[in-house]
Amino acid sequence: MQITKIFMAGMPGSGKTAYIGSTWNLIAESNIPTKLYKKVGSMPENYRKLEEISQQLLLYNDLKRTKEDEQIELRMTLCDKQGNEIDLNIPDSAGEIFRDLVDDRRIKKETAVRLRESDGILFFIYYKNMSREVRIPVPVCEDKEDKKKKEDKISGVQNCSGNSKGITMNKNREANQSEVVELLQALLELRSDNPELVNIRFVLSAWDMVEKDYGKNICPEEFMKKKFPLLYQFVITNTDRIKAEFWGISALGGDLNDQEDVKRLQEEEFNAIKVLPPGGVQSNDLTDLLYGIGEGK
Ligand SMILES: Nc1nc2c(ncn2[C@@H]2O[C@H](COP(=O)(O)OP(=O)(O)OP(=O)(O)O)[C@@H](O)[C@H]2O)c(=O)[nH]1
Ligand SMILES: [Mg+2]
């Protein structure tokens, strides 16, 4: 039996849990044809947690952030049309784990081992939760009190809890492009003992939002190039280390905080899901993202 181990990475709020929950619902609840099926009689490990997320999504409630000590794992045996069995092990780690890796070069040993042993990486990016790089403003101070306020702002005192305009964005959901490149570099570094190319599928999540903002004609690679030029440059200049693919995925099909979208989702159900493979045909099959990722290993 072939065992495919997939590592999920992505900064906080990049769409990892939405993908896991929605994939489980698709496999377990829908009549949509998928490339991978649930093997009869096999249930995922950590079923209760997965079911909790899946229920939230079926009720169109937005997801809570995954906690640092919480590991949601989609570990189950799936099979393809030819009857090949694939033992899938996709851990959904909290985005904070990856922020710690970038900020402090800190990672749990077991997470590093999972990364090293994986056959492929799904690297999630949600552009709405990526902030713009900002220059640190030079304050022009009028009086002492003002000066103190501006100094606090620069040191991040006012912004730690997280709003969008600040310079320090530690515990909110936003990450900037340099931090994401840094994360990618750190992951490659952790795998540097392995001379093989690393299969990375860049998942541009919430593709429904991309289409709302940028139109339906843009393809995932073009979007990445336009929106995240630094990250894209890093990827294409490291083809000796990375085998990259760019995917557009709308695991939820719409914005759970937008009443009109929720109404549409209730009508369209699983048909609202969008999967845009690189150069391929759009489908609703979220398992397509997992299919063939470890090929050649
Ligand atoms: N519109 C839309 N929003 C999405 C989609 N997928 C995820 N989101 C939203 O993106 C936000 C983050 O999604 P999560 O799946 O919780 O992200 P995460 O990477 O698990 O975040 P952490 O647990 O904090 O690491 C949530 O508010 C989701 O509703 C999608 O397909 N479409
Ligand atoms: Mg999560």
Rounded-to-integer distance, Cα 194 and Cα 198, Å: 9
Hey, where are the domains in the chain?
A: 2-289
Q: Residue 178: which of 138, 131, 221, 137 has the closest Cα?
A: 131
Query: Which ligand 1 atom is the nearest neighbour of the CA of 95?
Result: 25
| The most confident of 7-16, 75-84, 164-173, by mean pLDDT | 7-16
Q: How far is the CA of 252 from the centre of ligand 1 (A)?
A: 9
Rounded-to-integer distance, Cα 47 and Cα 239, Å: 38
| The pLDDT value given to residue 20 | 92
State yes or no: pLDDT of 135 exceeds 80: no
Q: How many CB atoms lie within 10 A of CB 194?
A: 10
Q: How far is the CA of 70 from the centre of ligand 2 (A)?
A: 9
| The pLDDT value given to residue 145 | 59
Q: Name the residue type at position 152.
A: D
| The pLDDT value given to residue 136 | 53
Query: Which of 26, 65, 99, 173 gets mutated to test ligand 1 (max ligand atoms within 8 A of its CB)?
Result: 65
Q: Name the residue with higher pLDDT: 133 or 259.
A: 259
| The pLDDT value given to residue 149 | 55
Rg of the chain over CA atoms, in angstroms? Answer: 20
| The pLDDT value given to residue 254 | 97
- Ligand 1 binding pocket (C-beta < 6 A) is 10, 12-18, 62-63, 65-66, 94-95, 124, 126, 205-206, 208-209, 250-252, 254-256
Query: Which ligand 1 atom is the nearest neighbour of the CA of 254?
Result: 1
Mean pLDDT of 2-31: 91
Share of the chain above pLDDT 90, in %: 54
Q: How far is the CA of 253 from the centre of ligand 2 (A)?
A: 17
Q: Name the residue with higher pLDDT: 47 or 223.
A: 223
| Cβ 6 vs Cβ 124: under 8 Å | no
Rounded-to-integer distance, Cα 122 and Cα 204, Å: 10
Mean pLDDT of 178-201: 93
Mean pLDDT of 65-82: 82
Query: Which ligand 1 atom is the nearest neighbour of the CA of 173?
Result: 24
Rounded-to-integer distance, Cα 270 and Cα 273, Å: 6
Residue identifier of the C-alpha nearest atom 9 of ligand 1: 15
State yes or no: pLDDT of 126 exceeds 90: yes
Q: Which of 29-33, 35-39, 126-130, 167-171 has the lowest mean pLDDT?
A: 167-171
Query: Which ligand 1 atom is the nearest neighbour of the CA of 251?
Result: 31
Mean of pLDDT over the chain: 85
Query: Which ligand 1 atom is the nearest neighbour of the CA of 96?
Result: 25
Q: How far is the CA of 3 from the centre of ligand 1 (A)?
A: 27
| The pLDDT value given to residue 287 | 95
Q: How far is the CA of 93 from the centre of ligand 2 (A)?
A: 7
| The pLDDT value given to residue 139 | 58
Residue identifier of the C-alpha nearest atom 5 of ligand 1: 206
The region, left, alpha or beta by phi > 0 then psi within -120 to 50, assigned to residue 161 is: alpha
| The pLDDT value given to residue 159 | 38
The pLDDT-based confidence of 140 (bands split at 50, 70, 90) is low
Mean pLDDT of 72-93: 83
Kindly identify the ligand whose nearest atom is closest to the C-alpha of 11. 1
State yes or no: pLDDT of 228 exceeds 50: yes
Mean pLDDT of 265-270: 96
Q: How far is the CA of 250 from the centre of ligand 1 (A)?
A: 10
Write out pLDDT tens, residues 84-100: 888 888 888 888 899 88
Rounded-to-integer distance, Cα 186 and Cα 38, Å: 34
Q: Give the pTM.
A: 0.86
| The pLDDT value given to residue 169 | 40
Query: Which ligand 1 atom is the nearest neighbour of the CA of 92?
Result: 20
The pLDDT-based confidence of 198 (bands split at 50, 70, 90) is very high
State yes or no: pLDDT of 162 exceeds 80: no
| The pLDDT value given to residue 297 | 56
In CATH terms, is domain 2-289 a member of 3.30.499.10? no
Rounded-to-integer distance, Cα 224 and Cα 203, Å: 10
* SS (HEC) of the chain: CEEEEEEEEECCCCCHHHHHHHHHHHHHHCCCCCCCEECCCCCCCCHHHHHHHHHHHHCCCCCCCCCCCCCEEEEEEEECCCCCEEEEEEEECCHHHHHHHHHHCCCCHHHHHHHHHCCEEEEEECHHHEECCCCCCCCCCCCHHHHHHHHHHHHCCCCCCCCCCCCCCCCCCCEEHHHHHHHHHHHHHHCCCCCCCEEEEEEEECHHHHHHHHCCCCCHHHHHHHHCHHHHHHHHCCCCCEEEEEEEEECCCCCCCCHHHHHHHHHHHHHHCEEECCCCCCECCHHHHCCCCCCCC
| The pLDDT value given to residue 267 | 97
Q: Name the residue with higher pLDDT: 42 or 158.
A: 42
| Cβ 124 vs Cβ 15: under 8 Å | yes
Q: Which of 66-80, 141-155, 177-191, 214-228 has the lowest mean pLDDT?
A: 141-155
Kindly identify the ligand whose nearest atom is closest to the C-alpha of 126. 1
State yes or no: pLDDT of 152 exceeds 60: no
